[in-house]
């Protein structure tokens, strides 16, 4: 089992806790058989924030049907955010949850679009997010996205501004034609760090924790950030592969194309998909070892308290992402 601060950590009510784990996760038994060195933690306001954020989207978002409405709870987007950012300030975790949720909902829409249509959709939202274009009040995605970013600017205009370009880069990566063309694990990992939103999630962590780091400080933690981004991307690939494989067979040829490290490794090595998952899972465990070694080195060298907090936040991102990925019905449907 995972080494955690909360051995009996509950899942969100709508996820049904540990019982929500289903058959695809069983192929990832290697993750449970080799204990993680990382601990996970849930933000203390998770129940209240989840209820409020989900209620806001259920009231305003144009869900296609009742099944889609229920999905926002069973997938647990706010819960995922509270697991990824347990050290977020109480007055900022709400915005983080709303932003992550709307990006998940947009990601689902992109699965049924061509790359060109998806690119146009995302590009249209970017000036609304930056505050240089007004939203259409009759289009929920536009005014809700605008409201989220304006709320963040009011609390911290500097860190919010620093989030824009990483967020745009993530949105551009979602609709790049290189999703189809990417070959080779090294090249894939470089692309996937953008596609999973590695830089975006790092910037969101700094916003949520109110961490204003200097360029020199950011440079000092860059190796740890790279480990975190790779871990997030590959762990996501391991758990989401079965869902993505099914979607690739059903969705739009481009929007649902299978861009996953499990397939890349299987194609390169000749291993089957299940064996490729296990190899990638072991890579994640080795990155965790590297993280702890670099963390110890930074602490021994006398890094500041805010750097130490940032490093702890990176650990919680990795462990929280794994914990949620194992529980969510987004990847583990019965």
What residues does each domain of the chain span? 27-326
What pLDDT, on the 0 to 100 scale, is given for residue 251?
52
Residue 221, CB-side half-sphere exposure with 13 Å CA sphere: 25
Q: Tens-of-pLDDT digits for all 334 residues of the chain?
A: 333 333 335 555 444 333 333 344 455 666 777 888 899 999 999 999 999 999 999 999 999 999 999 999 899 999 999 999 999 999 999 999 999 999 999 998 998 888 899 999 999 999 999 999 999 999 999 999 999 999 999 999 999 999 999 999 999 988 876 655 656 777 788 777 766 678 999 999 999 999 999 999 999 999 999 999 999 999 999 998 988 888 776 655 544 467 788 999 998 899 999 999 999 999 999 999 999 999 999 999 999 999 999 999 999 999 999 999 998 988 876 5
| C-alpha Rg value of the chain to the nearest Å | 19
For domain 27-326, the CATH architecture is Orthogonal Bundle (1.10)
pLDDT of residue 30: 67
The pLDDT of residue 188: 81
Tally helices (H) and strands (E) across the chain: 17, 0
User: Whose CA is closest to 174, among 160, 192, 187?
Assistant: 192
Reported as a single tens digit per residue, the pLDDT across 211-265 is 999 999 999 999 999 999 999 999 999 998 988 888 776 655 544 467 788 999 9
Helix axes 93-110, 140-155, angle to 10 degrees: 150
Could you give the angle at which helices 273-300 and 222-250 cross, rounded to 10 degrees? 160
- Residues 304 and 321: their CA atoms lie apart, in Å, by 26
Count the alpha carbons within 13 Å of 259 in the hemisphere toward its beta carbon: 27
Q: How many CB atoms lie within 10 A of CB 214?
A: 8
Q: Can you tell me the distance from the alpha carbon of 243 to that of 24, in angstroms, rounded to the nearest whole number?
A: 9
Cβ burial, residue 321 (10 Å; 0-12/13-18/19+): buried
CB-based contact 201:232 (threshold 8 Å): yes
User: What is residue 14's DSSP assignment?
Assistant: G
Triad 150, 155, 157: Cα angle to 5°? 70
Is 103 in contact with 80 (CB distance < 8 Å)? no
Residues 6+ apart with CB under 8 A from 62: 140
Question: Mapping DSSP to helix (H, G, I), strand (E, B) and coil, where does residue 158 land?
Answer: helix
Which pLDDT score, from 0 to 100, does residue 311 have? Answer: 98
């Amino acid at each position: 089992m995972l080494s955690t601060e909360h051995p009996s950590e509950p899942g969100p009510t709508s996820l049904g806790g540990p019982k929500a784990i289903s058959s695809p996760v069983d192929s990832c038994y290697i993750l449970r058989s080799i204990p993680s060195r990382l601990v996970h933690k849930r933000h203390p306001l998770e129940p209240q924030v989840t209820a409020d954020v989900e209620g806001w989207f259920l009231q305003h978002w144009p869900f296609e049907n009742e099944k889609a409405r229920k999905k926002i709870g069973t997938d647990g987007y706010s819960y995922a955010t509270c697991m990824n950012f347990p050290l977020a300030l109480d007055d900022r975790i709400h915005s983080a949850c709303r932003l992550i949720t709307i990006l998940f909902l947009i990601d689902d829409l992109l699965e049924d679009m061509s790359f060109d249509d998806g690119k146009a959709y995302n590009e249209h939202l970017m000036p609304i997010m930056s505050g240089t274009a007004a939203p259409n009040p009759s289009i929920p995605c536009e005014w809700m996205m605008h409201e989220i970013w304006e709320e963040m600017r009011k609390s911290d205009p500097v860190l919010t501004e620093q989030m824009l370009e990483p967020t745009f880069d993530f949105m551009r990566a979602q609709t790049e034609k290189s999703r189809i063309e990417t070959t080779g694990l090294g090249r894939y990992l470089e692309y996937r760090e953008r596609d999973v939103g590695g830089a975006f999630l790092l910037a969101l962590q700094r916003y949520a924790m109110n961490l204003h780091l200097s360029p020199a400080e950011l440079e000092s933690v860059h190796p740890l950030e790279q480990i975190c981004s790779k871990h997030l991307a590959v762990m996501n690939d391991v758990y989401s592969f079965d869902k993505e494989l099914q979607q690739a067979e059903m969705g739009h040829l481009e929007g649902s194309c299978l861009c996953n490290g499990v397939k890349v490794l299987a194609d390169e090595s000749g291993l089957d998909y299940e064996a490729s998952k296990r190899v990638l899972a072991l890579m994640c465990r080795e990155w965790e070892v590297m993280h702890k070694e670099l963390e110890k080195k930074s602490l021994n060298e006398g890094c500041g308290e805010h750097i130490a907090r940032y490093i702890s936040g990176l650990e919680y991102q990795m462990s929280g992402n794994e914990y949620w990925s194992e529980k969510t019905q987004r990847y583990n449907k019965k």
